[in-house]
A and B are shown apart, each in its own frame.
Chain A
Amino acid sequence: MSTTPSVNRRRPEPVQQIKQRRDMALNALVQGVPYIQFLGVEFDRRGDELTAILRFDDKLIGNPILPALHGGAIGAFLEITAIIELSWSLLWKDMETGVLDLSTLEAGNLPRLPKTIDFTVDYLRSGLPRDAYARARVARSGRRYASVNVEAWQDNRTRLFAQANGHFLMPEKAE
């Protein structure tokens, strides 16, 4: 490891510039989808790692007696997490190299989203009436198809309450 500055190396971008660009791109992606807003799903970003957060709300209840979150709301939360993770991974390179014009993205001109082919949810425990978290991992991202895994938890990261696996049709590359 040498600390001598290389002549060929470009100076790193200012930290605020990087943060602003990434947050702007992520916000445009998430806030452009009405159903994500309807459910109240937010995304927390650390570098390129995303954590989805489902804020608890009474309208998410599926069993008022227990009470427990609706299985459909949980499934939708996981599908949203998978689609955003996949879109984010597709966006990342263009965003970082400046190919992507952020002003058009902010104006609501979003990139085409991947389409869900199939989605399978395992319900491991009932969803408690509190916030839930999820992270997705792109297992394979090809030219036409992608496979994504999602894990969701509430209190303990290792105690999953739901997991899912889905296949997606990639958006056509804009010419």
Chain B
Amino acid sequence: MVAVDKSKIARQFVEAIPHAVALGMRFIDLGDGEAEMTMPYDTRFIGDPKTGVLHGGAVSTLMDTCCGAAVISHPACASGTATIDLRIDYMRPATPGQALSTRAVCYRVTRSVAFVRATAFDDDKSRPVATATGAFTVEGRVS
């Protein structure tokens, strides 16, 4: 019961973030330290005008948001979070015209740090577009 309310609050909180709204981000799934989000293809997010491929910054913003949401939804985290560091590896360009989706898993939470991994895909779910590894703050721990 508590977990359901918690993920609902986290979802509302993240979906109200102005920068997430500006990029059209939506949840597919959220709860217990795992989050899945999607972002539509938009010509305003293009990084390479010659190919129409999304800018790496747009990809990393989706991944950062999704990682943060995974942390907030973790049962051990009491409130918000902030990114300490985030590393993104770009495996291939996202196919122009296709939405980008990301799945993030908060796989470990200590008293002050939450560790998260994420993978991003376009329509081809067999080849990731990018992966991310990050450390996030824990603002108040549920003991």
Interface residues of A (CB under 8 A from B): 32-39, 58-65, 68-73, 75-77, 79-80, 108, 110, 112-113, 115-123, 126
Contact = CB atoms under 8 A, between A and B. Distances in A.
A75 B82 contact: no
A116 B48 CA distance: 12
A123 B57 contact: no
Contacts, number: 130
Nearest to A68: B82
Contact of A72 (B57, B82, B93): B57
A38 B44 contact: yes
17 contacts: A33-B55, A34-B43, A34-B47, A34-B55, A35-B46, A59-B18, A63-B17, A64-B16, A70-B17, A71-B64, A71-B82, A71-B86, A72-B62, A72-B64, A79-B60, A120-B85, A120-B87
Interface of B: 16-22, 43-50, 54-58, 60-65, 68, 80, 82-90, 93
Contact of A116 (B20, B62, B65, B90): B90
A126 B81 CA distance: 11
Contact of A110 (B45, B49, B55, B57): B49
Contacts of A116: 56, 88, 90
A39 B83 CA distance: 20
